[in-house]
């Protein structure tokens, strides 16, 4: 029996090690291709062991380092501000919805769920933020529209409050004379760090990977975020590839420029910081998901 248990444990360990390696291989391949020589890519294709190392793709992307650094700064600022504001608003909305004594609790929850299914449409949504709130070419345009408050996150956090925080704790604090704000700040928030870290990770990913709002609302190059800047760079490369068939000048320029390696370097630049940050959120992420997934 002991031998069978050990064999089973080793089998599970081997399976998860193989699964982990299989999950990491695409990222390793992307990185290795990004530091490969463009000529070797054309001759031999993608490889985990490039025949010739070259950092031409990164030199091409960081040729104007000021632009890259500014775009990173915009992205980091919008991500931090947006995540903090989103967590604050989501928590303030989800906590009252988890309290049974809140009037019209079910109606409010349905209204929030309704926004997940139906929307006012693209044109009214755009006109609201551009004409009514005048957010065109402002950082607020990359923080508020579409990402500041998520109905899914509100319902997930409400489920956590309802199922993971005992009602007796709140009742005891109320009997001791604690105000609602004191209960929320001193009891609810410290007990909700797992779900807050989970929602924070979701929101951070959304803000970091966002390029759509930047494309819609931003015309000033000084306000481009890193994802939209990378998207424009990739689009310009694709445009040169198409023009190379009809323009000798474009073909000559394209011949001197890395193409496939640049695509992979763009991916590394875009996801690198998140890959480094994710391990610090992992334990809270798993705890928050399993706790918040209980029926609400």
Q: Do residues 79 and 25 both lie within one domain?
A: no
Q: What residue has token string 């001197």?
A: 256
pLDDT digits (tens, 9 = 90+) for 228-279: 888 887 776 666 666 555 555 555 555 556 667 777 887 787 776 666 666 6
d(C-alpha 7, C-alpha 168), whole Å: 45
pLDDT digits (tens, 9 = 90+) for 133-153: 889 999 999 999 888 888 888
Q: Do residues 16 and 147 both lie within one domain?
A: no
User: Which of 15-29, 33-47, 112-126, 189-203 bottoms out in mean pLDDT, i.e. has the lowest?
Assistant: 33-47
Residue 42 resides in a domain: no
- In this predicted structure, the answer to whether residue 211 has a pLDDT above a threshold of 70 is yes
Q: Do residues 177 and 287 both lie within one domain?
A: yes
Q: Do residues 28 and 71 both lie within one domain?
A: no
- In this predicted structure, the answer to whether residue 7 has a pLDDT above a threshold of 80 is no
- Whole-model pTM: value is 0.76
Domain, as residue range, for 6:
2-34
Single out the residue of 106, 190, 206, 189 nearest to residue 149, CA to CA.
206
Share the mean pLDDT of the chain.
80
Structure tokens at 19: 């699964």
Residue 41 resides in a domain: no
Q: Do residues 207 and 171 both lie within one domain?
A: yes
Gyration radius of the chain's alpha carbons? 25
Q: Do residues 19 and 164 both lie within one domain?
A: no
pLDDT score, position 272: 66
d(C-alpha 74, C-alpha 221), whole Å: 11
- In this predicted structure, the answer to whether residue 293 has a pLDDT above a threshold of 50 is no
Split into its structural domains, the chain has a count of 2
């Amino acid at each position: 029996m002991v031998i069978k248990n050990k064999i089973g444990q080793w089998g599970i360990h081997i399976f998860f090690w193989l699964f982990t390696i299989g999950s990491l291989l695409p990222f390793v391949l992307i990185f290795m291709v990004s530091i490969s020589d463009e000529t070797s890519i054309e001759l031999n294709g993608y490889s985990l062991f490039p025949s010739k190392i070259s950092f031409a793709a990164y030199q091409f992307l960081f040729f104007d380092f000021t632009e890259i650094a500014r775009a990173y700064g915009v992205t980091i600022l919008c991500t931090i501000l947006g995540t903090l504001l989103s967590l604050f608003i989501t928590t303030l909305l989800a906590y009252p919805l988890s309290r049974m004594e809140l009037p019209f609790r079910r109606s409010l929850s349905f209204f929030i769920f309704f926004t997940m299914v139906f929307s006012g449409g693209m044109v009214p949504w755009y006109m609201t933020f551009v004409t009514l709130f005048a957010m065109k070419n402002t950082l607020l345009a990359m923080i508020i529209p579409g990402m500041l408050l998520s109905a899914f996150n509100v319902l997930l956090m409400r489920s956590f409050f309802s199922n993971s925080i005992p009602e007796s704790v709140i009742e005891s604090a109320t009997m001791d004379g604690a105000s609602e704000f004191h209960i929320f700040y001193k009891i609810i928030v410290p007990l909700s760090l797992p779900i807050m870290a989970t929602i924070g990770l979701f929101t951070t990913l959304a803000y970091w990977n966002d390029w759509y709002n930047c494309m819609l609302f931003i015309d000033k190059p000084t306000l481009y975020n890193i994802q939209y800047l990378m998207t424009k760079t990739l689009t310009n490369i694709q445009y040169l590839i198409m023009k190379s068939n009809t323009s000798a000048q474009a073909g000559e320029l394209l011949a001197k420029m890395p193409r496939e390696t640049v695509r992979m370097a763009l991916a590394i630049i875009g996801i690198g910081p998140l890959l480094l940050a994710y391990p610090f959120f992992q334990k809270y992420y798993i705890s928050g998901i399993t706790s918040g997934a209980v029926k609400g």
